[in-house]
């Protein structure tokens, strides 16, 4: 099942957080480029108000 995740503690040029679509299950760790640096996020089963699921950052810059 395809899910859309919101990458928590990120923001694009318009201030909106980044999003990521995948069929991978909750608990999977993904790597995304944020401000030119690799960031690690864990996909969760936590639904957000906008219909996406939370992707929790695992590192802090």
pLDDT in tens, 6-40: 999 998 788 889 999 999 999 999 999 888 889 99
**Which of 23, 1, 22, 17 has the alpha carbon at shortest distance from 57?**
17
Helix (H) / strand (E) element for 29: namely strand 29-34
For residue range 49-58, list pLDDT tens digits in order.
Answer: 999 999 999 9
Please report the pLDDT score of residue 41 as a whole number.
97
**Is the pTM higher than 0.85?**
yes
* pLDDT value of position 46: 97
What are the tokens at 39? 């960031």
In contact, 10 and 17? CB cutoff 8 Å: yes
Candidates 33, 42, 19, 20; CA nearest to 61 is: 33
């Amino acid at each position: 099942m395809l899910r859309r995740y919101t990458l928590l503690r990120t923001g694009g040029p318009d201030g909106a957080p980044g999003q990521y679509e995948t069929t991978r299950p909750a608990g999977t760790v993904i790597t995304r480029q944020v401000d030119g640096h690799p960031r690690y996020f864990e996909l969760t089963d936590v639904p957000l108000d906008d219909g996406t699921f939370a992707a929790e950052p695992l590192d802090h810059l």
